[in-house]
Amino acid sequence: MEWTVKIVDRLYELHGQHIDRLRADLGAANRLLGSSTPAKTGLKHLTRAEFEALLRQPTDDPEVTRLWIRRIIRGHEREFPALAGATGTPHVTGRDPLAAPPQPRGRKTGT
């Protein structure tokens, strides 16, 4: 995959939004659990250089990078048609293979 400046810029922006959402979710969970410092997390935004290095450097497990990018672009897949095949986004391949299988629904009748 060729990482153009435009694609990297947009991915970096979405990465920041993704980290912000994760921080908010962790803060809410920490408050529910009674934490005295609910906003304290170890999450941080990557610098632009760190982000690009993760994208461009070969890795022993490219699946990790693929899933990471897939999570960052979730909801914005149509902005990245070049990444659609590489990330296996659901609108291209059908059902998301990482999604939990549907659970049977029904009610207990007490019998």
pLDDT tens per residue across span 12-63:
999 999 999 999 999 999 999 999 998 888 889 999 999 999 888 888 888 8
Give the pair of three-digit tokens for residue 12.
């970096």
| Residue 105 maps to a domain | no
| Residue 34 maps to a domain | yes
Does residue 89 or residue 19 have the better pLDDT?
19
- Is 90 in contact with 75 (CB distance < 8 Å)? no
| Residue 100 maps to a domain | no
| Residue 99 maps to a domain | no
Host domain of residue 71: 5-92
pLDDT value, residue 47: 95
The total of other beta-carbon atoms located within 10 Å of residue 39's CB is 11
| Residue 107 maps to a domain | no
| Residue 64 maps to a domain | yes
The total number of structural domains in the chain stands at 1
Q: What is the pLDDT averaged over residues 80-93? A: 58
Task: Label residue 106 exposed, middle or buried (CB < 10 Å: 0-12, 13-18, 19+).
Answer: exposed
pTM for this predicted structure: 0.68
| Residue 15 maps to a domain | yes
